[in-house]
Amino acid sequence: MAPYDESGIGADDLIIRRINPHYHVIFDDNRQCRRISSKAYSPSSGPDAGMSIDVEQLIITAGQQPQQYVVDPVFTGAVAFSASSIRSLGLWIGYEPVHDNPYHGEVWGANPSRHNKFTKTQKDGLAAAAAWYVSIDDVALQ
Amino acid sequence: MTSSQAVVAAFSRYAPSIPSNDYDVSVFPSSRRVTLNRHSENEWTKALVGKFNELTALNPGWDGYAGRPVSYTCASFAAKLLERLYDEALPPPSLVPGSDGTLQVEWHINQYDVEVDIIGAFEVVATRHNCLTGAAEELELDTDFTALAGWISELREDRSPPSAVLAV
C-alpha cells in the first residue's frame, strides 16, 4: 500500500506497537537498566514499507479487548503512542489490514523520498512518546 | 597499518555486489547456521555466534506482525564487520533483529550509545549519541568504515560522570 496519512485516525487515538521481550530489549550500561532498543521503532526497508502497528480504536470497535489482542498468542509487551505525537515527528499513520490482523496499520516517514526510513530524531521521538500498553517487568521504556 | 586503515583496506577490496560466500564468514543455509572461521575467532564472535544462529532462525512473525528472521546476508556481513572492529577491551555488542530481516549492533557504554544498523551488505547506518553532551551523529556507510572504527576506539575511554567518580 502506498504511504498515506489516514484522516480517520484522530489525534488522541492510540497507536500500539508490539514489543518482543526477548529480541527488542537490550541492557544499557549507561543507564544501568534493560530497555527497549531503538530498532523496535524502525520501519522495514522495502519500498513503501513502514513500521507495523495496531490501531486501538479498530480493535475496540470490533468488540475485542486490545490489551489481550496485541499479546496473543506469543507476545508479552506493547507500547502505545497518541496519533498526534507520531504525526508531530513528521510521520504518517495509515490502515493496512492484513489477513490475520484486520486492525493492522503502518507508520511511514512523511518525506516522499524517505517513506521507509526514520531519522534518529524520529526514532528517539517515538521512544520518548511511548508509554507502556502492556508492560514488561524490569524493562524501561528508554 | 592502524586498525582504522585495516578496516578500510579490508572492505574496500570488495565490490558491493560480491556474493556472501566470498567473506571469511561462511554461511550454510541448509543448516541455518552462521559459521565463523576458526582463525578469526575472537571473544566477540565466540560470544555472539549462538545469537547469530538464533536470529537467523527466528520464526516468521516473531515480532507480532510479519517479522522475518535475520537474513544471512545481514548476519554474515555483521559478523565480518565485528571481526574487523574487534577490540579486546570492549564487551561484545547487543544484537537486535529488525522486522525486515535486518540487524542492529549496539553498544551502550562509557556514556556513548553506538548503534550500527546493518541494512544489507555494504549498506550500513551508524548513529552515536554522546550521553554527556547530548550530541548526536549519523553516518551512512558502504565500504569505508574508518569513522565507525574511530567510534569503536573511543568507546574504550572511561567517561564516567564526575558524580559517579566521586561516589566511588
* pLDDT tens per residue across span A34-83: 999 999 999 988 788 999 999 999 999 999 999 999 997 677 899 999 99
What is the tally of structural domains in chain A? Answer: 1
* A23 → chain B, closest CA residue: B96
* pLDDT value at residue B166: 55
Name the minimum distance, in Å, from the CA of A34 to any CA of chain B: 11
Cross-chain residue pair A42–B66, CB shorter than 8 Å: no
Tell me the mean pLDDT in the region B119-147.
95
B14 Cβ under 8 Å from any chain A Cβ: no
* pLDDT value at residue A115: 83
Model confidence, pTM: 0.86
Cross-chain residue pair A23–B97, CB shorter than 8 Å: yes
Cross-chain residue pair B109–A29, CB shorter than 8 Å: yes
Can you read off the three cell numbers belonging to residue A44?
522495514
Residue A102 domain-assigned (yes or no): yes
* pLDDT value at residue A97: 97
B52-63 pLDDT tens trace: 999 999 999 999
For helices B72-85 and B146-154, give the axis angle rounded to 10 degrees. Answer: 60
Q: Which of A20, A45, A52 sits opposite B66 (nearest CB)?
A: A52
Name the minimum distance, in Å, from the CA of B86 to any CA of chain A: 19
Residue B25 banded pLDDT, cuts 50, 70, 90: very low
A71-87 pLDDT tens trace: 976 778 999 999 999 99
Residue A77 domain-assigned (yes or no): yes
Can you read off the three cell numbers belonging to residue B101?
530481516
A120 or A13: which leads in pLDDT: A13
Query: Residue A133 is which amino acid?
Result: Y
Cross-chain residue pair A101–B109, CB shorter than 8 Å: no
Name the minimum distance, in Å, from the CA of A116 to any CA of chain B: 11
For helices B72-85 and B3-12, give the axis angle rounded to 10 degrees. Answer: 150
Q: Which of B52, B55, B96, B116 to mutate to test the interface with A (most CBs of A within 10 A)?
A: B96
Cross-chain residue pair B106–A26, CB shorter than 8 Å: yes
* B137 → chain A, closest CA residue: A120
Please say if the pLDDT value at position A4 is more than 70.
yes
* pLDDT value at residue B45: 86
Q: Which of B96, B100, B131 sits opposite A37 (nearest CB)?
A: B96
Residue B39 banded pLDDT, cuts 50, 70, 90: low
Query: Residue A10 is which amino acid?
Result: G
Residue A3 domain-assigned (yes or no): no
* pLDDT value at residue A48: 84
A11 Cβ under 8 Å from any chain B Cβ: no
Residue A64 domain-assigned (yes or no): yes
A67 Cβ under 8 Å from any chain B Cβ: no
* pLDDT value at residue B160: 78
Domain that holds residue A111: 14-140
* pLDDT value at residue B30: 39
* pLDDT value at residue B159: 82
Cross-chain residue pair A49–B100, CB shorter than 8 Å: yes
Residue A6 domain-assigned (yes or no): no
Residue A136 domain-assigned (yes or no): yes
A90-128 pLDDT tens trace: 999 999 999 999 999 999 999 888 888 899 899 999 999
Return mean pLDDT, chain B.
81
ipTM of the complex: 0.94
B128 Cβ under 8 Å from any chain A Cβ: no
A5 Cβ under 8 Å from any chain B Cβ: no
B82-126 pLDDT tens trace: 999 999 999 999 999 999 999 999 999 999 999 999 999 999 999
Name the minimum distance, in Å, from the CA of A89 to any CA of chain B: 17
**How far apart are the C-alpha atoms of B58 and B32, rounded to whole Å?**
10
* pLDDT value at residue A131: 98
- What percentage of chain B reaches a pLDDT higher than 70? 72
Residue A86 domain-assigned (yes or no): yes
Residue B141 banded pLDDT, cuts 50, 70, 90: very high
Residue A6 banded pLDDT, cuts 50, 70, 90: very high
* pLDDT value at residue B41: 76
User: Which of A48-57, A84-93, B6-15, B39-48 bottoms out in mean pLDDT, i.e. has the lowest?
Assistant: B6-15
Residue A108 domain-assigned (yes or no): yes
Residue numbers of B between 39 and 98 with CB closer than 8 Å to A = 55, 58, 62-66, 94, 96-98
